[in-house]
Amino acid sequence: MRTAYSVEKVRAAERDLMARLPDGALMQRAAAGLAVACADLLGRVYGSRVVLLVGSGDNGGDALYAGARLARRGAGVRAVLLTPERAHQGGLAALRAAGGRVSADPRADIGRADLVVDGIVGIGGKGGLRPEAAELAEAARARTVLAVDLPSGVNADTGEVDGTAVRADATVTFGAYKPGLLIDPAREYVGALRLVDIGLDLPDEADVTALQHADVAALLPVPAADSDKYRRGVVGVVAGSARYPGAAVLSVSGALRGGAGAVRYVGPGGDAVIAAHPETLVHAGPPSKAGRVQAWVIGPGLGDNEAAMADVLASDVPVLVDADGLRYLDPARLRARTAPTLLTPHAGEAAALLGAAREEVESARLHAVRELASRYGATVLLKGSSTLIADPEGAAVRVNPTGTGWLATAGSGDVLSGLAGSLLATGLAPLDAASAGAYLHGLAARRAAEKAVPLTACDVAAALPGTWHSLAD
């Protein structure tokens, strides 16, 4: 599991460790890791041109000490000092002693640089970049940029970007991942992310986590030797309408590949579903009369069907609500349920649920997903380029590390709803079903995209069994 910690927790761990170490030891650890990453990016250090963008805090200090190490190995290093009188004195002295210099012509030096090291601001940043810092960030756009701790201008805690920020090709972060580095829009600015261990002792409870292969593999249900289809779990899918029959087929295609032993389809699209997936059990009446299920999925292509929503929410099993189903949600109704509810909105649907604008959700995804989970008393999976999952108890938010832009195709969300609902029916807790579902869905899309693009939602569904198998191996 990859874990990310808020600035407050990183600072606390830093204080504890600093109290036990000689002055400057942590910065030297950081600078050593940074210099190695610079050398990796440069390929050849000797004779290379490196420009350091240096703010007046310790982030600039890291850059200066790393620059000194590169200068000792024969790089031509120039430091652009944002506020010369406040630049890290020890770092500046080390750079000078190693043969590095302060830049007399920042624009020209940046224009010639093989590598720009962004030490403008790190976890001490407040608000958007100030104009002179923003200018440097712009000037470095066309160069190869390595960000120190985080790209200057992105919010380490939230992933929000207020105005101009440095766009890095790579980021070296110290001690712990910061939540913002994993979440869009900031993630777009991070490039290849590397963690340098500086010995921080962090608490067990992270703020954001990302499941990795092994975590997901451990969650995926495996039928026991004496399993039968009912014991594996039955998932009910209430989806599709005369206008959107395809949504029913796509949601069922995900559900059939999510580990449940059987899929019951309820709705007007039974013929289309059976034609595509003859293994489905179909029912045309109300959901409550369809037979026992261990979890419901409701909403994809549903249209106006408030009665079906009321029926499903009245059940005593976990319910995943997606798409059109999200239009009928009442927080009090969800809180009164005896079983958990999982909501899977995209940014537009999340905005409607919050009474906010879509742009507000997209620019502050972490805030939006936490707020939705707490307001609706449900687990919430917020779809998008960095899918986030929050639970109502306020546990660490999960960010999904898989996926590809090719997933932005009509119907791929319908596949995810069936898949995650099926995992719910197998008995996974909502947070796990949602995160394992998003992981498999994103990985399936990546694997399919390696073979052929553009992807369709059907391609994603078809890639799920091979993806599941690759994880379980």
Ligand X SMILES: NC(=O)C1=CN([C@@H]2O[C@H](COP(=O)(O)OP(=O)(O)OC[C@H]3O[C@@H](n4cnc5c(N)ncnc54)[C@H](OP(=O)(O)O)[C@@H]3O)[C@@H](O)[C@H]2O)[C@@H](O)CC1
Rounded least distance, CB 323 to ligand X, Å: 39
Residue 126, binding choice from ligand X, ligand ADP, K ion, none, Cβ under 5 to 8 Å by partner class: ligand X
- Residue 256's identity, in one-letter code, is L
Q: Identify residues 112-131 at the interface with K ion (CB under 5 A).
A: 118
Q: Identify residues 65-124 at the interface with ligand X (CB under 6 A).
A: 121-124
Q: Which of 9, 33, 41, 62 binds ligand X (CB under 6 A)?
A: 62
Binding site for ligand ADP (CB under 6 A): 323, 346, 383-385, 387, 403-405, 407-408, 410-414, 416, 441
Which of 199, 424, 105 lies closest to 296, judged by CA? 424
Cα 140 to chain centroid distance, Å, stands at 26
Q: Which is nearer to ligand X, 22 or 127 (CB)?
A: 127
Q: Is 99 annotated as a binding residue?
A: no
Cα separation, 221 vs 196, whole angstroms? 35
- Burial of 43 (C-beta count, 10 Å sphere; 0-12/13-18/19+): exposed
Q: Does 57 bind ligand X (CB under 6 A)?
A: yes
Q: Is 246 annotated as a binding residue?
A: no
Cα separation, 258 vs 255, whole angstroms? 5
Q: Which of 6, 39, 52, 59 binds ligand X (CB under 6 A)?
A: 59
Which of 110, 120, 170 lies closest to 143, judged by CA? 110
Backbone torsions φ then ψ of 118, nearest 5 degrees: -90, 100
Cα separation, 52 vs 254, whole angstroms? 49
DSSP alpha helix (H) spans, 19-140: 25-42, 58-72, 89-97, 106-112, 131-139
Q: Which is nearer to ligand ADP, 234 or 298 (CB)?
A: 298
Residue 384, binding choice from K ion, ligand ADP, ligand X, none, Cβ under 5 to 8 Å by partner class: ligand ADP
Q: Is 60 annotated as a binding residue?
A: yes
Cα separation, 400 vs 54, whole angstroms? 33
Q: Can you give the length of the chain in residues? A: 473
Instruction: Fill in the per-residue mask, 130 to 169: x = in contact with K ion (CB under 5 A), - = not in contact.
Output: -----------------xx---x-----------------
Q: Which is nearer to ligand ADP, 80 or 419 (CB)?
A: 419
Q: Does 103 bind K ion (CB under 5 A)?
A: no
- Burial of 24 (C-beta count, 10 Å sphere; 0-12/13-18/19+): middle
Q: Identify residues 136-155 at the interface with ligand X (CB under 6 A).
A: 148-149
List, in sequence order, every residue forming a beta bridge with 2; answer none if it has no partner. Answer: 210
Q: Which of 33, 100, 125, 303 binds ligand X (CB under 6 A)?
A: 125
Q: Which is nearer to ligand ADP, 408 or 462 (CB)?
A: 408
Q: Does 56 bind ligand X (CB under 6 A)?
A: yes
DSSP string, 165-184: ----SEEEEESSB-HHHHST
- Residue 281's identity, in one-letter code, is L
Instruction: Fill in the per-residue mask, 10 to 49: x = in contact with ligand X (CB under 6 A), - = not in contact.
Output: x---x-----------xx--x-------------------
Q: Is 152 annotated as a binding residue?
A: yes
Rounded least distance, CB 164 to ligand ADP, Å: 22
Residue 123, binding choice from K ion, ligand ADP, ligand X, none, Cβ under 5 to 8 Å by partner class: ligand X
Cα separation, 352 vs 262, whole angstroms? 33
Cα separation, 71 vs 85, whole angstroms? 22
Cα separation, 163 vs 216, whole angstroms? 36
Tokens in use for 345? 């909105």
Cα 197 to chain centroid distance, Å, stands at 22
Residue 403, binding choice from ligand ADP, K ion, ligand X, none, Cβ under 5 to 8 Å by partner class: ligand ADP
Residue 66, binding choice from ligand X, K ion, ligand ADP, none, Cβ under 5 to 8 Å by partner class: none
Question: Are 137 and 166 spatial neighbours (Cβ–Cβ below 8 Å)?
Answer: yes
Q: Which is nearer to ligand ADP, 245 or 411 (CB)?
A: 411
**Annotated binding site, which residues?**
58-62, 118, 122-128, 149, 152, 247, 301, 346, 383-387, 413-414
Binding site for ligand X (CB under 6 A): 10, 14, 26-27, 30, 55-62, 121-130, 133, 148-149, 174-175, 198, 200
Binding site for K ion (CB under 5 A): 118, 147-148, 152
